[in-house]
Structure 1
């Protein structure tokens, strides 16, 4: 499909539009690799934007430290999952190419260059910017060369009492082979001279720091004559006193290292009989997957570096020599240990919509009108209250809920258990394969089953990522479905950090759609045509493309046409090509894409009508919105799905219309606010890089998240 086309799939209105004949349209091969940005490199670009927040002097100091830690945590997951996948592909099919034309080896080379630049910048930010700034605020990391006598004595006792009993160094010889190194754990390789008690002299030992140990220790001020916020790294303590672990031998050197392993796991959908047992089996091996990255203290001698590379069968392109702690993530501990609210974002309390304040009967409020919540600017508490009231209301007969990530101690789960114990029919669809939450979800499933909740593990081969809750309530002689549909997880804590939309409704057709989807998830039967929902893996992909084609038809007929998408990622090739065709036809396209974007804006003759921006701020932008001008009759959808292959074809997702004009105008206003941001927004360039947007002279600074926060705080 190299030219524009108009599908006759969205009603008969297209028949009345005058569309230019195909032969008058420019024919361009939209599959050309130069039209696409590599997914992995785009993800690294996102991490650069996160790190940029750590350099921004307008951000409170401890929040800057937090952004640094987030960028490191993101890079960990990037190697554990994305790079691990490319390495596997190189072994399986080295000639395979994606839409960008890069084969696995070429991708790994570019990833290495960009990742090394990123890591170098992370440590520069720590050592040259943040540590000096923290010191100015009397938050100090005391190097072992700077310990006072009192500090040294206290640390000597701390090592002897708290560390020595639990540390287990392994001297390397034929009877003590190189130990299995836990994923992302803190380890030390130690160079030794002399013989041990048995006359052995291997020259090397490995020491693994148990994960239970804190990585940062606060000096007790009075005992050590230290400042109130003086800290020392665990690695510094071990370096200083490691000789006590090797009585009669001499320690020549002690160097930190950390290994990152492939942490994705594979469940063969065709070969499993019990999904729960299969996931449990894979979890047992996650911490010992194939090595994908090695971080070592920059002071480590070349000979020792080569020894570790050889042991882990690692090439230098995946070696990182770092000037500081090998796991910067653990610096987040400081934020909780330091009681300095002046160095953090100002406190913020989400508002509760007035409809819920005026009427405590949440079902009466929803029955009156659809309610839209925008988290975290608005509170997540109405969602919890919705389930709490459903659990105790005598006329509520059944509750159905999807859970992807919800947290270990969740009021949502407590309400579901209470409802089941009250004799209501409660069904919960739990996705066991929510990455890195698998163990928690297995425990959650067991807890719910003990309370007689019907637990279903989704659909084999398809992750259940839809965010849906349905409450069936008897009202007189009728049964009414009340639903909540969201773009984010049912997790009260992340609802304070992620921006998401949630819709309450008792619309008959929408409620019936949700009921049918739940029936499909539990019975595995086919769903008859849905009234309003677009659902993956069935109608969402085609539905979005059809609506893009409708805008193309309007543009070709000389009508104003516009598309605004907000998502976390856009990767799926057919949707990108549809947007390219729309741009060629003159449709104005605004994309607010937080993370991965494989589409290139600004290509002459292809995408000059497409603008892509990313918002990086206090909250993680997470809401997915798909809005189509529709000749002035805007259609606005919110969804659990991003524009990625997995969301379109390998997951169960729900995309729901915002039909109330009042509510969809509110979302359009929010989108305009994001598009006006000139302080925390970044524009994607045609070469795949991002440029931060700055206000023009005499232009007021606009931070979209701050504007939305203030608007909802001041709502009538």
Structure 2
């Protein structure tokens, strides 16, 4: 079917693969948008470098997870990856190749020269003066050479095991070795304990500013010193990317934490999915590596620079040049909370809505800290997905357990790339006396909930925090998320039921307010979409606005298509992968899709349904993806206070629909086109507007003012 023509009705519509955009290619389209941030000359130079590094990190995960899982699936099924119409491996590789070529061209032709003009010099061997070369030689002899262990390959020295994404070198040698043998190949691992970006002493430079060099450049400059009496014919740096998914048979193991601990080491040696080499690597050496790692040539990438561009993030983060970074931003603090020491007294009267990172995450930490210290609090329950290695919030939970409170923590041990940190927290919590469980077998616990039970004159009262993002203070400074602090009776009762479900493994009772995956969330989302369609069929105004990270679930997309055909106006704000085709005549005429890529990572999940002016607003931990709706424990919860509804609509949706600076609109061809101001239209950035509206500077002016039109961080609580 030509997606631009009116589709047939019925089964033919359901079965047509052209209805959906490819998920993998959509993910790569997202990275194109991130790369354009790096290409934007209006952004500070070190921030452009940071975006460049983010693309590298994202592509690493794309190969480690998406490509690896799809290759594994097809190997198990005994079919070729290209035989699956839903996954075009060749097309994905071609897209990656284009992205990577643009990355390195931007790095070499613009970013590094501009950095040098601004006094930040990343020096290659030919760029270093005599004094710097001497210092590098001393550094190599003192800090690097003692840690290097070149392995000359022969039957007694087989090809070494190479760790995922580590820096390595392949070296071709001529001349006799110590035992009279001729030409050979050596493999050498770069020490992982050494920094990848090294600052040279300022006094050695003949240029103003700071000079740096890469560890790979230091090693390559002195490669010959490592093979005394032999000729280094050729060499190349290389890096192999491996499958990083952990798999544990949760139904067979007796202790998931112990099983995961034994599996974590093996992640470093999963099957190889990508090989990166230097641009000058001889073909026969690249072929040798491809053979060793059993990688198809289509997944070989020869790059014009460091094989791990992401390591240049050390340069962006380590520099003290504030003039080349975003201006510092201090998040705002809700006025009512800053005026009251008793957070429970505030929540007893009204709900508190937090919008991170524009508002501080500190009230969430304070909520748990106050609960830990409050003598009337008898129990705390919380889910943990990604808390980070260092966390005040987790320390507060440990302190609560040490004080003798009943602390129950649902720790998700299978949170990808956070497994080790979560295992460590689980152990510390148990040592402190907390009850720790690991969710439900076969399902990841992705819901963000905390529940406090407090003894008060009227009996036990529940207080809760529900959020769209993780309990991670570090990412809360960089990710946009909503959080709701509440004593709402219906909401907190539902939260308590979800915790009982997670610990007892009983089926949850009927919930009054919360939509819970994998039980009711998908059904309720589809029902709400179809309800808007029914309203539109009656000739009444119908509206859906939803914001999320990814939209790939086909059942939800079909419901949106049907609603569009019924006349519902639909705006979707989807940061990353989107499988829905907007703007197809007769199918999705009334659907617009846009993506926002800016200073902060858009992470909020907000669902709005006009519902005959009832204006239903839900916040959620879940994207509209099959895994979130059916294979995870997720919650969507209503915002019911009228003033807070207005805030969510304005801050979470409307400003993003107005954005003409960081917004991209999706076409039915799967390509995104950047929105720009038209004519005399003023530039408007949603994130900049929210920083001004909610940040400390704006908060200082409004600190003592009463809320107007629901703009304050608190609003009357509705039971």
TM-score, length-normalised on structure 2? 0.94
Alignment of 1:416-455 (within 5 A): 416-455=397-436
- 1:173 and 1:202 in contact (8 A); partners too: no
**Partner residue of 1:208 out of 171, 182, 189:** 189
Per the alignment, do residues 365 and 140 of structure 1 end up closer, same or farther by CA in structure 2, a change over 3 Å counting? same
Within 2, Cα distance between the matches of 1:106 and 1:266? 22
- 1:430 and 1:456 in contact (8 A); partners too: yes
2:235 maps to 1:254: yes
**Partner residue of 1:463 out of 427, 436, 444:** 444
Structure-2 residue corresponding to 1:708: 690
The alpha carbon displacement at 1:540 in A equals 0.3
2:26 maps to 1:46: no
Structure-1 residue corresponding to 2:713: none
Structure-2 residue corresponding to 1:118: 99
**Partner residue of 2:126 out of 145, 163, 166:** 145
Q: Which moved more, 1:226-235 or 1:330-339?
A: 226-235
Structure-2 residue corresponding to 1:520: 501
- 2:552 and 2:626 in contact (8 A); partners too: yes
Within 2, Cα distance between the matches of 1:446 and 1:300? 46
Structure-2 residue corresponding to 1:693: 675
**Partner residue of 1:603 out of 560, 584, 588:** 584
Alignment of 1:529-540 (within 5 A): 529-540=510-521
The alpha carbon displacement at 1:639 in A equals 0.3
Structure-2 residue corresponding to 1:12: none
Structure-1 residue corresponding to 2:70: 86
Alignment of 1:552-563 (within 5 A): 552-563=533-544
Question: What SS does structure 1 have at the residue aligned with 2:134?
Answer: helix
Structure-2 residue corresponding to 1:16: none
Question: What SS does structure 2 have at the residue aligned with 1:348?
Answer: coil
Structure-2 residue corresponding to 1:675: 657
Within 2, Cα distance between the matches of 1:90 and 1:144? 44
Within 2, Cα distance between the matches of 1:106 and 1:363? 51
Structure-2 residue corresponding to 1:35: 19
2:469 maps to 1:488: yes
Q: Which moved more, 1:242-251 or 1:220-229?
A: 220-229
Alignment of 1:248-647 (within 5 A): 248-647=229-628
The alpha carbon displacement at 1:26 in A equals 8.5
Question: What SS does structure 2 have at the residue aligned with 1:165?
Answer: helix
Within 1, Cα distance between the matches of 2:365 and 2:133? 51
Within 2, Cα distance between the matches of 1:60 and 1:224? 25
The alpha carbon displacement at 1:135 in A equals 1.1
Within 1, Cα distance between the matches of 2:157 and 2:208? 43
User: Deviation digits for residues 638-672 of structure 1, max 9, x if unmatched?
Assistant: 00000011100111111100001110111111211
User: Deviation digits for residues 18-46 of structure 1, max 9, x if unmatched?
Assistant: xxxxxx99886134111100111100000
Question: What SS does structure 2 have at the residue aligned with 1:345?
Answer: coil
Question: What SS does structure 2 have at the residue aligned with 1:519?
Answer: helix
Per the alignment, do residues 503 and 531 of structure 1 end up closer, same or farther by CA in structure 2, a change over 3 Å counting? same
Within 2, Cα distance between the matches of 1:375 and 1:711? 12
2:140 maps to 1:159: yes
- 2:22 and 2:87 in contact (8 A); partners too: no
- 1:95 and 1:104 in contact (8 A); partners too: no
Per the alignment, do residues 59 and 224 of structure 1 end up closer, same or farther by CA in structure 2, a change over 3 Å counting? closer
Question: What SS does structure 2 have at the residue aligned with 1:120?
Answer: helix
Q: How many pairs align?
A: 690
User: Deviation digits for residues 528-587 of structure 1, max 9, x if unmatched?
Assistant: 101100000101000101101110110000010000010000011100000000000000
**Partner residue of 1:75 out of 40, 59, 72:** 59
The alpha carbon displacement at 1:270 in A equals 2.8
The alpha carbon displacement at 1:313 in A equals 1.6
Question: What SS does structure 1 have at the residue aligned with 2:531?
Answer: helix
User: Deviation digits for residues 139-173 of structure 1, max 9, x if unmatched?
Assistant: 11112122211111111111111011110000011
The alpha carbon displacement at 1:195 in A equals 1.8
Within 2, Cα distance between the matches of 1:25 and 1:434? 41
Per the alignment, do residues 298 and 668 of structure 1 end up closer, same or farther by CA in structure 2, a change over 3 Å counting? same
Q: Which moved more, 1:140-149 or 1:658-667?
A: 140-149
Within 2, Cα distance between the matches of 1:52 and 1:203? 44
The alpha carbon displacement at 1:202 in A equals 4.5
Within 2, Cα distance between the matches of 1:589 and 1:577? 13
- 1:554 and 1:560 in contact (8 A); partners too: yes
The alpha carbon displacement at 1:374 in A equals 0.3
Structure-1 residue corresponding to 2:3: none
- 1:37 and 1:688 in contact (8 A); partners too: yes
User: Deviation digits for residues 263-301 of structure 1, max 9, x if unmatched?
Assistant: 012122332222112212221210000000000111011
- 2:24 and 2:87 in contact (8 A); partners too: no
Per the alignment, do residues 368 and 521 of structure 1 end up closer, same or farther by CA in structure 2, a change over 3 Å counting? same
User: Deviation digits for residues 578-602 of structure 1, max 9, x if unmatched?
Assistant: 0000000000000000001000001
The alpha carbon displacement at 1:104 in A equals 6.5
Within 2, Cα distance between the matches of 1:686 and 1:64? 29
Question: What SS does structure 2 have at the residue aligned with 1:630?
Answer: coil
Question: What SS does structure 1 have at the residue aligned with 2:330?
Answer: coil
The alpha carbon displacement at 1:86 in A equals 1.5
The alpha carbon displacement at 1:379 in A equals 0.5
Per the alignment, do residues 26 and 524 of structure 1 end up closer, same or farther by CA in structure 2, a change over 3 Å counting? closer
The alpha carbon displacement at 1:227 in A equals 4.4
The alpha carbon displacement at 1:226 in A equals 5.8
Per the alignment, do residues 217 and 600 of structure 1 end up closer, same or farther by CA in structure 2, a change over 3 Å counting? same
Structure-2 residue corresponding to 1:189: 170
- 1:572 and 1:643 in contact (8 A); partners too: yes
User: Deviation digits for residues 387-422 of structure 1, max 9, x if unmatched?
Assistant: 111111111010001111111221111111111111
The alpha carbon displacement at 1:90 in A equals 2.2
Within 2, Cα distance between the matches of 1:143 and 1:25? 62
The alpha carbon displacement at 1:613 in A equals 0.2
Within 2, Cα distance between the matches of 1:220 and 1:509? 63
Within 2, Cα distance between the matches of 1:25 and 1:85? 34
Within 2, Cα distance between the matches of 1:106 and 1:465? 27
Per the alignment, do residues 694 and 211 of structure 1 end up closer, same or farther by CA in structure 2, a change over 3 Å counting? same
The alpha carbon displacement at 1:625 in A equals 0.6
Per the alignment, do residues 519 and 696 of structure 1 end up closer, same or farther by CA in structure 2, a change over 3 Å counting? same
Question: What SS does structure 2 have at the residue aligned with 1:700?
Answer: coil
Per the alignment, do residues 586 and 278 of structure 1 end up closer, same or farther by CA in structure 2, a change over 3 Å counting? same
Within 2, Cα distance between the matches of 1:643 and 1:540? 10
Within 2, Cα distance between the matches of 1:270 and 1:430? 18
Within 1, Cα distance between the matches of 2:281 and 2:645? 58
